[in-house]
Structure 1
């Protein structure tokens, strides 16, 4: 449904509610529908916010948009006469179509879809004849993070996360109360990551090459545990009495590229895969499980019927082996992936690494749940320059030793001026300062009553104890390679300021914050102080409770639920969304200048199909990549009753895919 101009603005199509309930069930165990797991009574100081750094690997961004110049014709919303450098495209209109919609003058192509062969010799996808053996060698389900790394021969390695499985859409006739063992094993293989070589096709778009470097990492892949909690009693299980080997990774949401060329991936909503937390009788263990959202009864997917490690009544420590930042080396298909305990255990969106002036590395992290916190890690060692094997081995150890911090925010306006309506305080901005509170460094704990191992394994509880600031779902964070500031997507929090929950503050200024906001920070990378401001307070620009960096709101696109972030080479911020249905439209990719007279002039670059979420933006010199996750995942639909036929068309079932867009 096209958007109609009004007062040089947009009319939004009416589609109803927010995220589909079926997505809530499979992606996070309906976490938002449960009581918040953070019941700490932290002091609020009349302020708030926490900062994280960078993300999604500063991939040579932007020229695809820097080169766009003037794109398309036809009706557009009123806008500045001179578009920002790199953003000269005509905005797409919010819509509810079953397609990826791009600006006039752009092309698009599917790069890789669920089930496509990844490893040489993998079979072609057959929806009605899936096997776990085939899925171990095919592209996994619900791809999220995406990145590209250069190869010496000019080709690139593309790495993708596979966040979760939606079994009703994976299998025809799926019986959620009685899944088969083969269906469960297919789901195990559909999680994890994919590594594939891509080359350039004749028209310039990336195309997949079946190469010896290609690899699948699944819930059956062995990981090594490193850092200060490795071999802890808290990580030991009957299957791994060493506490140093874990089978698999799951719910991998976002990721980043390290300065030494590996990939970090965040394990997020791991709680939903485990069953029978109610059978744990030790009060201390039960409190720890509750704080991470582990639930009573059977799990959604019933994995515990086929492997006892998913049954907390039998193996409670297995829960502690997930929720980490993992690191893989895409250049070595025989390497063992790593789980890093020094970066803490939480519901990681990701970790993003930058190198400080003194050579130490700093990783910024968000805990993606309502009322959770922002963290950073500062290494003890310094990075070695150069690409020698010795330097690379050294640099790959930097995330094993360092200090872990959590953020506490303060606003600079009187509390009476933050009334929950979203109205700006008298100084015209939501802004303030903050500090990083140390949690642990190596074997030393800075939290009274916690050992260092307990800080790393139960990081949320340690952050509660020091009085960190509760945030509105801190997700992706990204350092700007041009201005040096750090940006964080705070996706939403419908419980903010409602009875029984944390009140509003200057960092989280709206009651029932269903549209989210974007935070901007000036952070002393290795220090403990920072300042902050809100760049965007999202929603319909015609609503008085929205803010677009001070820019004329009649000239911007509506946006809801910011999720993933990236930057182009001009320093413009690119934002993907999750649950734009809260504004009655499909999710999309947006761009906004963060400096100069057009700071806040947000424009929508593309939209994804009905029911899909936009993830994993790569803003490259030649093209943009996005992940269209869970297309057609709408309540009432399933594999036998699809409401989307993207990307293959006809009467096909929807398939999560990576799509390339270029001018």
Structure 2
């Protein structure tokens, strides 16, 4: 049996570790920014048609008392999950957010408010398919992993199961693998075929039934249920929509351009109104090698726009499968970077990749329905200076659970119009000075438009065919002058107001030499902490091309005058940095998970009211263990689920020298896992 040495080094002190950058996104931030276009910026156009913020609001923002958020918060509550039931302390806040916020910390634990319990729902490597063995870190195999819960769970969904009381169907994305933390003695320069095939099996998605313990609120996995399923980097997928069958998508293994092996780097996602799951393929570029050997200048430029590696890939997959070699299989890379749709209720269904939604580094995709039943899908391209997109379906959703209705609805995302966003500020450019200081009207806000890119086989981009628009969507956005954003990630629609909320994680190159200057939608130079964007568009008009926008939160230390919390007093909020995934609860509160907290604390999950007297009051609900990022999240009336992704992923960490003991304590392997948190008295979250 392997001997685990004691924890070495110091706990993670904020911001993303180099090890995470290496395995998650291929060191994207250390490479040249792929977007070198000279698009116009938001800055100096004033839209007089959009009303300015009222004087009362502006005055309130101007008189906010700066104070350290951490100092104003209560001390961290006793560790959740302890023996006995802790009374839930009453706390001021919006309904759904009446809990005592967890103080910023660096504890190697999932820390929740007082009176809340927690359990690990499922860990990497736990068997979910019939015949799969129990996890054994010393005897891993690709065959075993293909039947076990995958690595680095990200997006989470819980779906109802009729006729099975107390059970739900959990779906999780598995974004990437970190072989250094998976295999003892891993040699990054010379991975074995078995290690590579284990990684292929650990990517993708998992569907697993979970059972509720009604006495405690805990969830546990139901192994070997007929709906349990693994989708991996070698599973069969269909390409659908207007670019399917294109010459740009054909390979030697698939001369039809309609069948793909696997999905890669599945980050966030969404649940459709018709009961399927959407998943975004994000940093797919890092898995492919050989861009430096491509001699055609046009193709080399296209590869550079998507950040393709010039030399070997980090994981060296090209040594074991030619499809990851850009010279041997030029089009294989074009078959990744799509939004995936998966029907978890049909274990025999073949998941699809929707070409109509464009090919970018999709953080995910989320859908709202217009009043006439058309599906509108929103997606961010998670890269510095890249764009925000939406897709509007041509056809309308059919109601009901009949087989015909389900098949119709699963084709909704194959026909429609793809758009990209352009933002205009309503303040003079001179008032956007890069510090985050509010302009004279009291808020960063303005108007915007959705620019059409393609619809079916019709291209709206000069010099590009429709197929080229779908396959090289970033280049299409460049050509039409889309607004360069600070890493647009998850997008969610409020079930109460219909407003959209976009997480923009950060962009430390904003305003640096040769890069885009601050503008009203991205107002800070060296944007380390990110912000939350709020969009308002006509909900009943799917073809609406205009919207209003404002920055709802400008994240960071509340003591920093360049932060903003929708006008709420800054001495009464939790510090928040690097927003990533977002979700809504039944009360209409926005929940925000963070990735790479640059304030010196661990990442966490935060709730914030979007309307009413508590609008802008950010409250931290949980914090993560050493090195971990908060993913998911999923907020039900009586339960919150989070993905604890890449725990222990700190510089210098290995299997033999762990830098976290989570989730199972010293002497055990560090394992990404899903955690459920609930009130110990059985009540609803935050009420």
Q: Distance in 2 between matches of 1:110 and 1:375?
A: 35
Q: Which of structure 1's runs of 4+ aligned residues deviate more than 6 A?
A: none
Which residue of structure 1 lines up, in the alignment, with residue 578 of structure 2? 561
Q: Distance in 2 between matches of 1:331 and 1:145?
A: 18
Q: Distance in 2 between matches of 1:660 and 1:106?
A: 10
2:91–2:99 contact (8 Å) kept in structure 1: no
- Within the candidate set 180, 191, 198, 1:179 is matched to 191
Name which of structure 1's ranges 520-529 and 564-573 shifts more when overlaid on structure 2.
Answer: 520-529
Asked if 1:196 corresponds to 2:208, the answer is yes
Which residue of structure 2 lines up, in the alignment, with residue 241 of structure 1? 255
Cα deviation for residue 43 of structure 1 reads: 1.1
Cα deviation for residue 86 of structure 1 reads: 1.3
- Within the candidate set 393, 396, 403, 2:410 is matched to 396
TM-score (norm 2): 0.89
Q: Distance in 2 between matches of 1:81 and 1:622?
A: 17
Counterpart secondary structure, 1:104: coil
Cα deviation for residue 280 of structure 1 reads: 1.2
Task: Within 5 Å, give how 1:10-21 maps onto structure 2.
Answer: 16=13, 18-21=15-18
1:593–1:601 contact (8 Å) kept in structure 2: yes
Cα deviation for residue 621 of structure 1 reads: 1.9
Q: Distance in 2 between matches of 1:558 and 1:182?
A: 44
- Within the candidate set 140, 156, 173, 1:161 is matched to 173
Asked if 1:305 corresponds to 2:322, the answer is no
Which residue of structure 1 lines up, in the alignment, with residue 421 of structure 2? 407
Judged with a 3 Å threshold, the aligned counterparts in structure 2 of structure 1 residues 480 and 45 are, in CA distance, closer, same or farther, namely closer
1:489–1:563 contact (8 Å) kept in structure 2: yes
- Within the candidate set 279, 282, 291, 1:277 is matched to 291
Asked if 1:288 corresponds to 2:302, the answer is yes
1:323–1:347 contact (8 Å) kept in structure 2: yes
Q: Distance in 2 between matches of 1:33 and 1:198?
A: 40
Q: Distance in 2 between matches of 1:566 and 1:278?
A: 40
Q: Distance in 1 between matches of 2:264 and 2:547?
A: 33
Judged with a 3 Å threshold, the aligned counterparts in structure 2 of structure 1 residues 530 and 311 are, in CA distance, closer, same or farther, namely same
Q: Distance in 2 between matches of 1:301 and 1:512?
A: 31
Cα deviation for residue 622 of structure 1 reads: 2.1
Which residue of structure 2 lines up, in the alignment, with residue 255 of structure 1? 269
1:412–1:432 contact (8 Å) kept in structure 2: yes
Deviations 1:594-633 (A, max 9, x none): 1112111111000010100000011012211000000000
Which residue of structure 2 lines up, in the alignment, with residue 609 of structure 1? 625
Q: Distance in 2 between matches of 1:300 and 1:266?
A: 21
Which residue of structure 2 lines up, in the alignment, with residue 32 of structure 1? 29
Q: Distance in 2 between matches of 1:82 and 1:459?
A: 46
Counterpart secondary structure, 1:662: strand
Which residue of structure 1 lines up, in the alignment, with residue 65 of structure 2? none
2:530–2:577 contact (8 Å) kept in structure 1: yes
Counterpart secondary structure, 2:533: strand
Judged with a 3 Å threshold, the aligned counterparts in structure 2 of structure 1 residues 609 and 367 are, in CA distance, closer, same or farther, namely same
Deviations 1:576-602 (A, max 9, x none): 00011x111110000011111211111
Deviations 1:560-584 (A, max 9, x none): 000010111111110000011x111
Asked if 1:532 corresponds to 2:542, the answer is no
Which residue of structure 2 lines up, in the alignment, with residue 207 of structure 1? 220
Cα deviation for residue 513 of structure 1 reads: 0.1
Task: Within 5 Å, give how 1:276-425 maps onto structure 2.
Answer: 276-425=290-439
Task: Within 5 Å, give how 1:567-586 maps onto structure 2.
Answer: 567-580=584-597, 582-586=598-602
1:644–1:653 contact (8 Å) kept in structure 2: no
Counterpart secondary structure, 2:194: helix
TM-score (norm 1): 0.93
2:120–2:674 contact (8 Å) kept in structure 1: yes
Q: Distance in 1 between matches of 2:670 and 2:341?
A: 30
Deviations 1:115-155 (A, max 9, x none): 00111221000001100000000000000000101011232
Q: Distance in 2 between matches of 1:494 and 1:601?
A: 26
Which residue of structure 2 lines up, in the alignment, with residue 480 of structure 1? 494
Deviations 1:92-112 (A, max 9, x none): 111111100000000000000
Q: Distance in 2 between matches of 1:194 and 1:274?
A: 24
Deviations 1:175-230 (A, max 9, x none): 00000000000000000000001121242222111201100000110001100000
Cα deviation for residue 300 of structure 1 reads: 0.3
Cα deviation for residue 74 of structure 1 reads: 6.7
Q: Distance in 2 between matches of 1:501 and 1:344?
A: 25
Cα deviation for residue 47 of structure 1 reads: 6.2
Which residue of structure 2 lines up, in the alignment, with residue 471 of structure 1? 485
Q: Distance in 1 between matches of 2:11 and 2:319?
A: 43
- Within the candidate set 37, 44, 49, 2:41 is matched to 44
Cα deviation for residue 82 of structure 1 reads: 3.8
Counterpart secondary structure, 2:331: helix
Q: Distance in 2 between matches of 1:334 and 1:540?
A: 49
Judged with a 3 Å threshold, the aligned counterparts in structure 2 of structure 1 residues 17 and 617 are, in CA distance, closer, same or farther, namely closer
Deviations 1:319-341 (A, max 9, x none): 10000000000001111000000
Q: Distance in 1 between matches of 2:402 and 2:321?
A: 42
Counterpart secondary structure, 2:237: strand
Asked if 1:23 corresponds to 2:20, the answer is yes
Instruction: Give unpaired runs (5+ residues) of structure 2.
Output: 1-9, 46-72, 78-88, 680-687
Which residue of structure 2 lines up, in the alignment, with residue 136 of structure 1? 146
- Within the candidate set 632, 643, 648, 1:632 is matched to 648
1:14–1:584 contact (8 Å) kept in structure 2: no
Cα deviation for residue 530 of structure 1 reads: 0.3
Between the two proteins, the alignment pairs up a number of residues equal to: 625
1:80–1:555 contact (8 Å) kept in structure 2: no
Cα deviation for residue 75 of structure 1 reads: 5.0
Q: Distance in 1 between matches of 2:27 and 2:343?
A: 33
Instruction: Give unpaired runs (5+ residues) of structure 1.
Output: 1-12, 49-72
Asked if 1:123 corresponds to 2:133, the answer is yes
Q: Distance in 1 between matches of 2:146 and 2:554?
A: 42
Q: Distance in 2 between matches of 1:98 and 1:75?
A: 16
Cα deviation for residue 640 of structure 1 reads: 1.3
Counterpart secondary structure, 2:268: strand
Judged with a 3 Å threshold, the aligned counterparts in structure 2 of structure 1 residues 135 and 598 are, in CA distance, closer, same or farther, namely same
Name which of structure 1's ranges 442-451 and 650-659 shifts more when overlaid on structure 2.
Answer: 650-659
1:156–1:197 contact (8 Å) kept in structure 2: yes
Counterpart secondary structure, 1:255: strand
1:225–1:244 contact (8 Å) kept in structure 2: yes
Counterpart secondary structure, 1:127: coil
Q: Distance in 1 between matches of 2:236 and 2:515?
A: 40
Cα deviation for residue 76 of structure 1 reads: 8.1
